[in-house]
Homo-oligomer: A and B are copies of this chain.
Amino acid sequence: MAEAKALTPRAADFSAWYNELVARAELADYSPVRGCMVIRPNGYAIWEQMQRALDQMFKDTGHQNAYFPLFIPQSFLAREAEHVEGFSPETAVVTHAGGKELEEPLVIRPTSETIIYSMYAKWIQSYRDLPVLINQWANVVRWELRTRLFLRTTEFLWQEGHTAHATEAEAEEETVRMLRVYRTFMEEWMAMPVLTGRKTDSERFAGALRTYSCEALMQDNRALQAGTSHNLGQNFARAFEVTFQTAAGGLDHVWNTSWGVSTRLVGALIMTHGDDAGLICPPRLAQYQVVIVPIYRNDDERGTVLDAAQRVRGELSGAGVRVHLDARDGMKPGAKYYEWEGRGAPLRLEIGPRDVAGGTVMLARRTGGKKESLPLAGLASRIHEIMEVMQRDLLETARARREAASIRGATREQFVAHLEAGGGFVYAGFCGSAACEAEIKEQTKATIRVLPDQEFRSPSVPATCMWCGKPTVAEAVWARAY
């Protein structure tokens, strides 16, 4: 690690930059198993911070965690027609176990609707048992042909919420609530702005009534689906006979929702904020928000400086800052700077003999700007302020970049030109036809990311579909996507 060779610049080859950054920062690695990644400690620490924040948000909205089996009987997948069509081509199948061939092959879960709703059928009897609000943190497997670390791997880690409700309205409310939770997390924790809205039928989750999505725009102006929330209607309840006695004494199928985000978010974080020097991690998700690098030329200075550095570490840590003192011997300060820049540590504090004498530390921000000398007095609260500003600035910078790459009210020619000029979000009129959507995808590789929610809609939308000229039924946001 900490090789002298610089990363390929983003502008030269975004994809190479991404791969090199992930390797350099030791975030993840390829494994001996095709398409499976190893999440290394530096990458996993970001995922842990994400998990902690999301898990609290799920609990604050009334959800509990549980754990369901990795294995799904193959016949279960087949019970919901769209679901099996969507997922069975990419499943991994256990055919032998304990030295024998299984009577029925077991699929490794690509998602857990079928196994979970088969349990709900057992647990739910009456309207008094509703709502059921459960989440699980788990690994899932989808046999992908083209894989990229974090973005698309055969096995990935995620959370999947699965809820059951007495009415369609409650299920819809839950679906939208969790979409908002995701958006809040992505904006406030990841500093990643997202558009929210509904997916068209062709991009809908296999088995859902309606799918909603959070869509982000990466620095190469390709869109990334960052999280989805599905109103499953009664589709799975019918397939798995999840019924309940209503308050009125009748019998009805429950209404389900499911929603998930995955380790893909680590990839999204990298591609939203990273620069040519490496990762930039928003303070709220950084393993170490502050890294202290001591500077000394001899043993005398070393003692004094390390003492001071340890005091600073203690003070910051006591004030709730995640801080690391990089006291490695035999490594020059410059090499440490380089390494922590690559890993995205938001703030670096340098402490040398002159700083100790003056009762100060030297602050460097990962986002650039001049170094700044800070007094030790009141350091922790100053660091908190600086992190808050950085967190906000990262979001605003990303939002400004996204908006600069978005066009509204596009004609067909403008749409094509925008894609050719580098891409970004294109807001345009859409006729609602799946055939038109498919033709556009085939010819331009762009897809409808969302039919945007009210607040993202353009003040005025062209009256006709930008592609076929038929009347607009909804505004659509197009982009080439990961």
Q: Which residues of A contact B (CB under 8 A)?
A: 29, 31-33, 36-41, 44-45, 47-48, 64-73, 76, 89-99, 105-106, 108, 115, 118-119, 122-123, 134, 138-139, 141, 143, 145, 155, 157
Contact = CB atoms under 8 A, between A and B. Distances in A.
Contact of A31 (B29, B38, B69): B69
A97 B97 CA distance: 16
A42 to B, nearest CB: 9
Given A31-B115, A118-B32, A145-B98, A65 B89 contact: no
Contacts of A155: 69-71
A154 to B, nearest CB: 8
Given A139-B70, A143-B98, A32 B115 contact: yes
A65 B93 contact: no
A33 B77 CA distance: 13
A241 to B, nearest CB: 13
A89 B138 CA distance: 26
A65 B44 contact: yes
Contacts of A90: 98
B93 A92 contact: no
A97 B106 contact: no
A37 B105 CA distance: 18
Contacts of A31: 68-69, 115, 119
A69 B29 contact: no
A383 to B, nearest CB: 22
A108 B105 CA distance: 14
Contact of A96 (B40, B45, B93, B145): B93
Contacts of A143: 97-98
B70 A36 contact: yes
A36 B93 contact: no
Given A45-B65, A67-B39, A94-B92, A33 B73 contact: yes
Nearest to A108: B94
B36 A69 contact: yes
A40 B66 contact: yes
A91 B99 CA distance: 7
Contacts of A29: 119, 122-123
A39 B40 CA distance: 28
Contacts of A41: 64-66, 134
